[in-house]
Amino acid sequence: MDENSTQVSRGERTDMVLSVRDLTKTFAAPGGMTVQAVAGISFDIAAGETLGLVGESGCGKTTVGRALIQLPPPTSGEILLEGRSLCGLTRDTLRPLRPRMQMVFQDPVSSLNPKRTISDIVEVPLVVAGGHSRVKRDQLVREMLDAVGLDPDVVWNRRPHELSGGQCQRVSIARALILRPRLLICDEPVSSLDVSVQAQILNLLEDAKQRFGLTMLFIAHDLAVVKNISDRVAVMYLGRICEIAPSDRLYGHAAHPYTQALLSAVPEARPQPKRKSGQIITGEVPSPLEPPSGCRFRTRCPKATDLCASQEPLLRRIGYDHVVACHFASE
């Protein structure tokens, strides 16, 4: 099974909010070279589902999220939002679709305009979308601030620098939800926050998902965080997806050597005296300017053979809703 047919891994689900096929994003590099940040990935997200996207820094996670909302648009591939293609649209034709998909960015402070008040920041999407009076906009902003756990009377005229990081992230979430999107993309929304605040934001996102009927793509590098909020998890390495599985199955029966290595690095409350052999990653991540032939993980994989160098493994199903790109993976 190749990546363009990963939809069969979703069983009989037909209520897909987001379908991505062969998504590729390249950037120009000095010397006329090209960096392939995302190298032909495919996945689906069903209505009401949260898909976690994890991997090491630089693997292309954030680029995927930004390409989905066309900031900037992908180099090639297909993105379907509720059955409507987003690729190749002009700015004017894309604008009516933007309220259906919103993004929460990684740095809560720098993603907010420091010159605007909190009420103005949350109100801006309503102004751009149009159709509401000033009185109605104020009412909606107050309701949304209250929904994310902020007192409108306290924060209304404050500016981002007068709030904590956690409060700024609540403002970012309020701004993203004010237009009632169907798809919410969260780009490492808790990575810059204290551990205690992380739990509050994760609980807020889970509550918002239920309250507003959201479908979510949750991007992170912390597998412990992803496990608690995701229904399924996709693992990326050097621009490619190497494994997708339901959260519990992935954490209990990871099939790809890279996924196993990531899980072995997660701190445990009661660590085992000895890790399983072959689960510690050695070596450096290859340059995306010149990725390895065949399997991109082979230069760091303890199971690599000549086959891995000559033939790129394609995603194949090894269990219900579980696909992996490895020649030697088994159920």
pLDDT digits (tens, 9 = 90+) for 265-293: 776 666 555 444 446 677 788 888 899 99
Count up the domains in the chain and report the number.
Answer: 2
In the block, which residue shows the tokens 């009989």? 12
- Nearest C-alpha neighbor of 232 from the set 311, 323, 168: 323
pLDDT digits (tens, 9 = 90+) for 223-259: 888 988 999 999 999 999 999 999 999 999 999 999 9
Distance CA 223, CA 254 (A): 12
Percent of the chain as helix, strand, coil, to the nearest 5: 35, 25, 40
Does residue 252 share a domain with residue 301? yes
Q: What is the average pLDDT score of the chain?
A: 90
Does residue 74 share a domain with residue 206? yes
CA 138 distance to own-chain centroid:
31
pLDDT digits (tens, 9 = 90+) for 24-48: 999 999 888 999 999 999 999 999 9
Whole domain around residue 137: which residue ranges? 110-180
At 230, which CATH number?
Answer: 3.40.50.300
Does residue 186 share a domain with residue 151? no
Does residue 267 share a domain with residue 192? yes
Does residue 233 share a domain with residue 115? no
Domain assignment present for 320? yes
Query: What band does 9 get if pLDDT is binned at 50, 70 and 90?
Result: very low
- Nearest C-alpha neighbor of 183 from the set 74, 93, 76, 104: 104
Does residue 303 share a domain with residue 235? yes
Distance CA 288, CA 307 (A): 21
- The tally of CA atoms less than 13 A away on the side-chain side of residue 266 is 16
- Helical (H) or strand (E) element with 4: none
Does residue 304 share a domain with residue 243? yes
Domain assignment present for 40? yes
Domain assignment present for 284? yes
Counting Cβ atoms within 10 Å, is residue 197 exposed (0-12), middle (13-18) or buried (19+)? middle
Distance CA 144, CA 148 (A): 6
Residue that finishes a domain, picked among 180, 207, 235: 180
Query: What band does 7 get if pLDDT is binned at 50, 70 and 90?
Result: very low
